[in-house]
Amino acid sequence: SQQGEEDPQALSIQEGENATMNCSYKTSINNLQWYRQNSGRGLVHLILIRSNEREKHSGRLRVTLDTSKKSSSLLITASRAADTASYFCATDPRGSGTYKYIFGTGTRLKVLA
Amino acid sequence: ETGVTQTPRHLVMGMTNKKSLKCEQHLGHNAMYWYKQSAKKPLELMFVYNFKEQTENNSVPSRFSPECPNSSHLFLHLHTLQPEDSALYLCASSLAAGPVYFGPGTRLTVL
pLDDT higher than threshold 50 for residue B108: yes
pLDDT higher than threshold 60 for residue B81: yes
Radius of gyration from C-alpha coordinates of chain A: 13
pLDDT higher than threshold 90 for residue B1: no
Q: What is the mean pLDDT of residues B82-101?
A: 92
Quick one: pLDDT at residue B55?
Answer: 86
Per-range mean pLDDT, top range of A62-76, A88-102, B53-67? A62-76
Give whole-number Cα distances, A66 to A23, A53, A69, B58, in Å. 10, 9, 6, 28
In this prediction, residue B111 has a pLDDT band, given cuts at 50, 70 and 90, of very high
Quick one: pLDDT at residue A82?
Answer: 95
Give A 14-53 residues with CB within 8 A of chain B.
30-31, 33, 35, 40-45, 48
Question: Regarding predicted confidence, which is higher, A64 or B55?
Answer: A64
- Select from A2, A42, A105 the Cβ nearest to the Cβ of B2: A42
Would you call B46 an interface residue with chain A, using a CB distance cutoff of 8 Å? no
In this prediction, residue A100 has a pLDDT band, given cuts at 50, 70 and 90, of confident
- Select from A40, A92, A105 the Cβ nearest to the Cβ of B97: A92
Distance from A15 to chain B by nearest Cα, in Å? 26
Q: What is the mean pLDDT of residues A19-23?
A: 95
Residues of B with CB below 8 A from A44's CB?
2, 102
- The gap from C-alpha A13 to its chain's centroid, in whole angstroms, comes to 17
Quick one: pLDDT at residue A107?
Answer: 93
Q: Considering only alpha carbons, which residue of chain B is nearest residue A38? A: B104
Distance from A13 to chain B by nearest Cα, in Å? 22
Report d(CA B35, CA B38) in Å as an integer. Answer: 10
- Select from B2, B43, B45 the Cβ nearest to the Cβ of A44: B2
Report d(CA A24, CA A14) in Å as an integer. Answer: 26
B11 neighbors B18 (Cβ within 8 angstroms)? no
Give B 91-110 residues with CB within 8 A of chain A.
92, 94, 97-105, 107
Quick one: pLDDT at residue A102?
Answer: 86
Tens of pLDDT, residue by residue over B29-73, are 999 999 999 987 889 999 999 888 888 888 899 999 999 999 999
Least Cα distance to B85 among B69, B55, B107 occurs for B107
Least Cα distance to B96 among B22, B10, B19, B29 occurs for B29
pLDDT higher than threshold 80 for residue A2: no
pLDDT higher than threshold 80 for residue A81: yes
In this prediction, residue A1 has a pLDDT band, given cuts at 50, 70 and 90, of very low
For residue B59, give every residue at least 6 positions away whose Cβ sits within 8 Å of its Cβ, in sequence order, or none.
Answer: none
pLDDT higher than threshold 70 for residue A96: no
